[in-house]
Structure 1
Amino acid sequence: MLRKVTDLYGYTLQATDGELGKVKDVFFDDEKWTIRYLVVETGSWLNSRQVLISPYSIAGIDEVDEAISVRLTQEQVKNSPDIDTHQPVSRQMEGDFSRYYGLGNYWLGPELWGAGTYPIIRSPDEAGAGHVPGRAEELLQQTSANPEDFHLRSADNVKGHHIQGTDDEIGHVEDFVFDDETWALRYFIVDTRNWWPGGRKVLLATHWIDRIDWAGSLVHVNLTHEQIQNSPEYDPDQPLSRDIEARLHAHYGMRNYWE
């Protein structure tokens, strides 16, 4: 199912033995465009500390009660590595986090989640750095040894980035759409209203992004102002069906990512 990232904000994280806190933000990686962590504000029970929760640990999402259940205890989260969510998170920090929870290392492998498409731990022997054999263990040591290896981005920080087409600026990032099975970011939601009269919200697929100037807060796409201006309008109140996605890709003459 496709959801807006901000729809998760405020959802309660429910551990196996109590409440952990509420979702405040998400971190995604800028290589495979996938949500890697929920940023959770723990509140008074943990001195309002912010912690990271990986989709590896998520058991389910309850839209009715606006809750996300996780396969963790409060004690596990309390004793987890202290990561400052206001500073860049290095691959070394992620390695420490993965080892602590006994999780897979998503950056080791060609798929969205390393060796697979979904964030699923198949057995204890397949989880954690201590169980990564041979060449994969060597690669983990190499990436963890580089403290400047940063690939995570805060969704909140990227909101507001301007979109630069081949001939003009065309809007700014308002939100994101993600797949709640793979946790892949599929689309930028772009607000164009400040760039032309009667502008509207449109979708741009993450695999259409040419490059991003992080320092300049500018997203570059190989699309023209006219192409985007004439694209199908995005209605946030309407479920984003596969038919709508197909029409969007057809408008731009782009290949469907699900094929």
Structure 2
Amino acid sequence: MLNKAQTLKGYKLHGLDGEIGTVNEFYFDDHYWAIRYLVADTGNWLTGRKVLISPYALIAVNKEEQYITIDLTQRQIEDSPSLDSDKPVSRQFEEDYYEYYGWPLYWGGPFMWGSYPTYPYIERDREKWREPTQGENAWDPHLRSTYDVSGHHIQAEDGDIGHVEDFVIDDETWAIRYLIINTQNWWPGKKVLISPQWIESIDWYDSTVFINLSCEAIKQSPEYTEESQLTRDYETGLHRHYDRQGYWVDESAAKKHSL
């Protein structure tokens, strides 16, 4: 199911032995544009600590009752490697974090979730983690905050079209499927969706995202509104407008190839 990041913000987190807090924001990598951590607001429980929850622990999203089920206990989270709230996520922290929980490193192979060819889905079978894998070409992730990237300028091939307002997240794969772009600086009121696959480059220092689409093509694209239903028909029409193949086609082929 597709959910906006701002919609998930504030959702309660239900652990194995009680509520552990609420969703605050997300960290994603700029290679696969996949969510790597949910940042939890634990209130007064773990004051001064930034608590990160990997999608490996996210079991299900309940949209009706606005909570996410977490496969962790409060004690597990409390004893996990500590990340100070004023520090970025370092590689050392991530290695300690994944070793503590016994999860495979997501950057340890060529796929979105590491070496296990269930791309792009998360392999949750611990027995399969022990199986030998091939082509383990590790990559270097750079983590970004959805909070920090919101507001970044969007530069089309022939001009500025607006800024990043939100993100659309797939809660099965935890991939960011779209950036929601507010174009009010270019033409009033319209919002559009842009896939990370259409991004040409990003200037993180200048807070600018460059996409290889023209302003006119974006202007004529299907509008996104708060009432829009992110159905497969809507997505198909969006990709057809830009003459791009849907991500679900590539992922379906990859999944069949891995079987």
TM-score over 0.5 for the alignment? Answer: yes
Q: Which letter does structure 1 place at the counterpart of 2:243?
A: G
Matched, 1:118 2:139: no
Contact 1:43 1:49 in 2 (8 A): no
Distance 1:210 1:168 in 2: 14
* Residue of structure 2 equivalent to 1:8: 8
Residues 170 and 44 of structure 1: CA distance in aligned 2, closer, same or farther (over 3 Å): same
Q: Which letter does structure 1 place at the counterpart of 2:123?
A: I
Give the drift of 1:174.
0.2
* Residue of structure 1 equivalent to 2:228: 238
* Residue of structure 2 equivalent to 1:157: 148
Q: Which letter does structure 1 place at the counterpart of 2:113?
A: W
Contact 2:30 2:141 in 1 (8 A): no
Give the drift of 1:236.
2.4
Give the drift of 1:150.
5.4
Deviations 1:161-186 (A, max 9, x none): 00001111001000011111001111
Give the drift of 1:237.
2.0
User: Pairwise mapping of residues 201-220 of structure 1 onto structure 2 (< 5 A)?
Assistant: 201-220=191-210
User: Pairwise mapping of residues 1-259 of structure 1 onto structure 2 (< 5 A)?
Assistant: 1-47=1-47, 49-114=49-114, 115=116, 116=118, 117-123=120-126, 126=129, 151-196=142-187, 198-259=188-249
Per the normalisation by structure 1, the TM-score is: 0.88
Deviations 1:18-67 (A, max 9, x none): 21111100000100110011000111122253200011011211122211
Q: Which letter does structure 1 place at the counterpart of 2:60?
A: G
Q: Percent identity?
A: 49
Distance 1:2 1:254 in 2: 19
Per the normalisation by structure 2, the TM-score is: 0.88
| Cα RMSD (Å) | 2.1
Q: Which letter does structure 2 place at the counterpart of 1:247?
A: G
Q: Which letter does structure 2 place at the counterpart of 1:118?
A: Y
Residues 190 and 42 of structure 1: CA distance in aligned 2, closer, same or farther (over 3 Å): same
Contact 1:174 1:190 in 2 (8 A): yes
Contact 1:41 1:48 in 2 (8 A): no
Give the drift of 1:119.
2.0
* Residue of structure 1 equivalent to 2:254: none
Give the drift of 1:239.
1.9
Distance 2:181 2:227 in 1: 15
Distance 1:178 1:125 in 2: 26
Unaligned stretches of 5+ residues in structure 1: 144-148
How many corresponding residue pairs?
246
Three-state SS of the structure 2 residue aligned to 1:202 is: strand
Unaligned stretches of 5+ residues in structure 2: 250-259
Q: Which letter does structure 2 place at the counterpart of 1:185?
A: I
Distance 1:90 1:153 in 2: 12
Distance 2:178 2:128 in 1: 35
